[in-house]
Amino acid sequence: MSADQATKHVAVIGGGLVGALNACFMAKRGFKVDLFEKREDIRTMDVVRGRSINLALSVRGREALREVGLEEVVIKEGIKMYGRMIHGGDGSLNEIYYGRKDQYIMSVDRRKLNEVLLTAAEKYRNVQMHFEQKLVRCDIKTGDLEFKSKSGQTNKMCVDLIIGNDGAFSAVRQQMMKDTLLNYEQTYIPHGYMELCIPPNSLGEFNMGVNYLHIWPRNEFMMIALPNQDKSFTATLFMPFDIFNNISTVEEAMVFFREKFPDSIPLIGEEAIRETFRKNKALPMVSIKCSPYHVGGKTVIMGDAAHAMVPFYGQGMNAGFEDCIVFNDKLNEHNDDFDAALKAYTEYRKPDAQAINDLAMYNYVEMRKSVNSKMFLLRKKLDNFLYMLFPNRWVPLYTMVSFSRTRYHECIKRREWQDKMLTKSLNVGCVVLGLSFVFFGRHMLTKQGSLLMTLTEDIAGNFKSMLSA
Amino acid sequence: MSADQATKHVAVIGGGLVGALNACFMAKRGFKVDLFEKREDIRTMDVVRGRSINLALSVRGREALREVGLEEVVIKEGIKMYGRMIHGGDGSLNEIYYGRKDQYIMSVDRRKLNEVLLTAAEKYRNVQMHFEQKLVRCDIKTGDLEFKSKSGQTNKMCVDLIIGNDGAFSAVRQQMMKDTLLNYEQTYIPHGYMELCIPPNSLGEFNMGVNYLHIWPRNEFMMIALPNQDKSFTATLFMPFDIFNNISTVEEAMVFFREKFPDSIPLIGEEAIRETFRKNKALPMVSIKCSPYHVGGKTVIMGDAAHAMVPFYGQGMNAGFEDCIVFNDKLNEHNDDFDAALKAYTEYRKPDAQAINDLAMYNYVEMRKSVNSKMFLLRKKLDNFLYMLFPNRWVPLYTMVSFSRTRYHECIKRREWQDKMLTKSLNVGCVVLGLSFVFFGRHMLTKQGSLLMTLTEDIAGNFKSMLSA
């Protein structure tokens, strides 16, 4: 902070993962920061309801944590996942690495991470935390805020900047929808999710290979499982609501599990499956896009408030954390001129946030279906081979998204370029083969030759359909 | 209504065009109807603020009015518009008919139409009207409603069915967004609009050809004008906000008008243009899509509440009126079983509402830009010619939308089929020509022949790009 500038006052709305991290970023800039969270302090709660238990932390998230000095403390409690472990319907196991053998994403505990971030934010002398304070009035153009505490007390404040980190059902965004021309889109996918637990085995050890994200891909639906520090796994069943609704008794749930996920029954436990289906119901998933993310120089939304996404790329938190880096960069570029920085933030971040929303949607198909396909695996191998040959020019999509900070929209563009190159190479290959046939036809019409032709055409056809899928 | 069934109680929220018409439809079914409008009775108001002054009534709207016996009374006050009158930058005038020479849309006065509909609804003994009653609580799953009158009085009611006809910013829809998984999308286009008036001339007569929708297409923006009963025209300038914002003084407005719409200045009057730009600012336009339109058998939204659209196809009101027909049909099909009828309504209406939203967006480009293109006019002529030859098989898009009740999504499908047929014919034509050239090349390489080839290729190229545009 320059000494000659009055201290700027920022209100961060929401003390979840992105809110708490953003408070650190803003505090580090020297701003006076007030963080408001409507729930009680997660660090003092017995049981935390709602939201998934663990999350996949990858490069974007780690880099944001590093900028506020928290990377080490977070990753030392995380569990490395080097790839997907595919559970076939026949109980077979196949691993698919995410990238190079030294590249991994990390399973981290949502609650613990949130606690670390809140404690870190609180350490800044210029940060004030307020729990159990519900936003009841929010003037997005003047910065006037009003909160109500649990006991009914009113808390008023006028700030220079409102940062809405208040999640998918953001109150700040709702106010923006009332007072400005906000383009907005929310889509509930026709699938829901339900969490189950795979406890440690009788020796107190992990019940499955620990360093993987386990997937039971069943085309129309899937189950996944991520490892936890306490040697359990948290499994999540993703499935069309139609199928969930058809399972009306716990007995039907068991029949379903016996048919679709037989190898998981001894892991989860029959009684636990019954219990879960008896007590819980499938929860919905929403994807949200909007723009702009800001109002003048007074209000900005980030994280799920701006771009809630379906969970299938494991990028929701990572994208939200990267928002904090980008916003911080824009403040640097514009010398804390909020008008200019907020405008630049929307412009820069919009194509990336929309791209990762789309990628997350696409990845559901990859996880539940494509991983079953030989062509997908062939492409994966080809990508990895080319990545080895040209580590700077041919980076596979998953690697760009999870192991680099390549802008999300750029990831899509490069993947499209890769697809085009492969199609072209394939076409050239076909033409060469075709011409060879025309000119040397007689000599090729041996048994081996025609077999080769058929085979080549077959592969080419499959490959093309895969690329266009 | 069957005698053995208890009278069903319906609340219509919103007394605008679609709400008032819907009240008539529901009353005709024998339901007990309460209509709630938050503004005062439009029939008793001096000046009505907001919304456009006149509207284009076409076949879908007329058919809905006919079903409640109101077509005649409405159209006798309307003004026929047989086509578009194109005002070139050089002051030239060119008419483009909408369809056959006996087909027309009608310019009707929004306020008068609303008054006719309210009076018609009020005539039913089973209809009760409530003005200046604001919806303050709405339980979309039980039918519990609470309104507050202007004087602060509370009015509670529990109904069998809530029909939200409360416009683009529907309170009923907002409640649905809170309590159900509503897919929702709102898009503000980057263009705004501003209304101006072209008064009658000194003889008290229309200042331009009366039976047209006048357009000043200027590619990036446009002005249009619709005739009114009092011999004036209401003109509307549609333009990117960027351009509106660049006009910061009335003098700049005059410079702009002199350059872009010189022939309109004597019609509107220089002082009136200055006055309009001094007092008014451009207003935004929003396009809304959502689904489903219903909640169980208790709540349904229609008209702008379900599918507000940009005004460029003149179908906003017509689509809303057609909603009433469709909903009435579904109630017939399902014997007033609200659960079944509401579900069927969403399923049937969703693809059509989304199609007309898209068409309305597309038509802005047609009105401000394509009408300037020779290729567009050629295609229009070709379509009309084919329509004359095959009146049942080749109906032009505009004719299907405005002069038939062909389902909107079917209109798009048929147009796509027409485009494909034309492309195919063209390709066959090119191949024939190409082959002719190969076989009779020598003879064609006369001056005339090569000229013919160039010309044909040119037309084919243009045509293709037009079709793919």
pLDDT at B219 over 80: yes
Q: How many angstroms separate the CA of residue A199 from the nearest CA in chain B?
A: 33
Better pLDDT: B455 or A432: A432
pLDDT band at B459 (very low <50, low <70, confident <90, very high): low
pLDDT given at position B371: 85
Q: How many angstroms separate the CA of residue A192 from the nearest CA in chain B?
A: 12
pLDDT given at position A448: 52
Q: How many angstroms separate the CA of residue B432 from the nearest CA in chain A?
A: 26
Among candidates A181, A186, A284 on the partner chain, residue whose Cβ is nearest the Cβ of B188: A181
Contact between A167 and A17 (Cβ < 8 Å):
no
Interface check for A280 against chain B (CB to CB < 8 A): the answer is no
Indicate the domain borders of chain A: 9-363
Q: How many angstroms separate the CA of residue B187 from the nearest CA in chain A?
A: 5
Query: Which residues of B are less than 8 Å from A187 in CB distance?
Result: 183
pLDDT band at A411 (very low <50, low <70, confident <90, very high): very high
Q: What is the mean pLDDT of residues A388-401?
A: 91
Among candidates B181, B184, B286 on the partner chain, residue whose Cβ is nearest the Cβ of A284: B181
- CB-based contact A184 B184, cutoff 8 Å: yes
| Closest chain B residue to A188, measured at CA | B183
Among candidates B183, B188, B284 on the partner chain, residue whose Cβ is nearest the Cβ of A186: B183
pLDDT given at position A456: 52
Query: Which residues of B are less than 8 Å from A183 in CB distance?
Result: 186-188
Using CA atoms, how far apart are residues B112 and B79, in angstroms rounded to an integer?
Answer: 13
Neighbouring residues of A66: CB distance < 8 A, sequence distance ≥ 6: none
- CB-based contact A184 B186, cutoff 8 Å: yes
Interface check for A182 against chain B (CB to CB < 8 A): the answer is yes
Query: Which residues of B are less than 8 Å from A186 in CB distance?
Result: 177, 182-185
Phi, psi at A4, each rounded to 5°: -85, 10
Neighbouring residues of B208: CB distance < 8 A, sequence distance ≥ 6: B85, B198, B214, B225, B233, B267
Q: How many Cβ atoms from other residues are within 10 Å of residue A195's Cβ?
A: 14
Picking from A175, A180, A184 by the largest number of B CB atoms within 10 A of its own CB, the best residue to mutate is A184
Of B355, B353, B379, B354, the residue nearest B366 (C-alpha): B379
> Helices marked H in B37-170 — which ranges?
59-67, 71-75, 110-123
Neighbouring residues of B178: CB distance < 8 A, sequence distance ≥ 6: none
| Closest chain B residue to A177, measured at CA | B186
pLDDT at A306 over 60: yes
Least trusted range by pLDDT, from A129-133, A226-230, A362-366: A362-366
Picking from B175, B178, B187 by the largest number of A CB atoms within 10 A of its own CB, the best residue to mutate is B187
Cis peptide before A262 (omega within 30 of 0): no
The structure's pTM equals 0.86
Q: How many angstroms separate the CA of residue A412 from the nearest CA in chain B?
A: 24
Contact between B2 and B105 (Cβ < 8 Å):
no
| Closest chain B residue to A285, measured at CA | B181
| Closest chain B residue to A171, measured at CA | B178
- CB-based contact A186 B182, cutoff 8 Å: yes
ipTM: 0.82
Query: Which residues of B are less than 8 Å from A185 in CB distance?
Result: 184-186
- CB-based contact B184 A186, cutoff 8 Å: yes
- CB-based contact A183 B187, cutoff 8 Å: yes
Cis peptide before A292 (omega within 30 of 0): yes
Neighbouring residues of A100: CB distance < 8 A, sequence distance ≥ 6: A384, A387
Phi, psi at B139, each rounded to 5°: -95, 105
pLDDT at B178 over 80: yes
Which two three-digit tokens encode residue B122?
């009020």
pLDDT at B75 over 50: yes
- CB-based contact B284 A181, cutoff 8 Å: yes
pLDDT given at position A464: 52
Tens digits of residue pLDDT in A102-155: 999 999 999 999 999 999 999 999 999 999 999 999 999 999 999 999 999 999
- CB-based contact A186 B187, cutoff 8 Å: no
Using CA atoms, how far apart are residues B41 and B130, in angstroms rounded to an integer?
Answer: 9
Q: How many angstroms separate the CA of residue B408 from the nearest CA in chain A?
A: 23
Burial letters B359-370, b for 16+ CB under 10 A, else e: bbbbbbebbbbb
Q: Between residues 316 and 375 of chain B, which touch chain A (CB distance below 8 Å)?
A: none
pLDDT given at position B3: 43
Instruction: Return the CATH architecture of domain A9-363.
Output: 3-Layer(bba) Sandwich (3.50)
How many Cβ pairs within 8 Å bridge chains A and B? 26
pLDDT given at position A467: 47
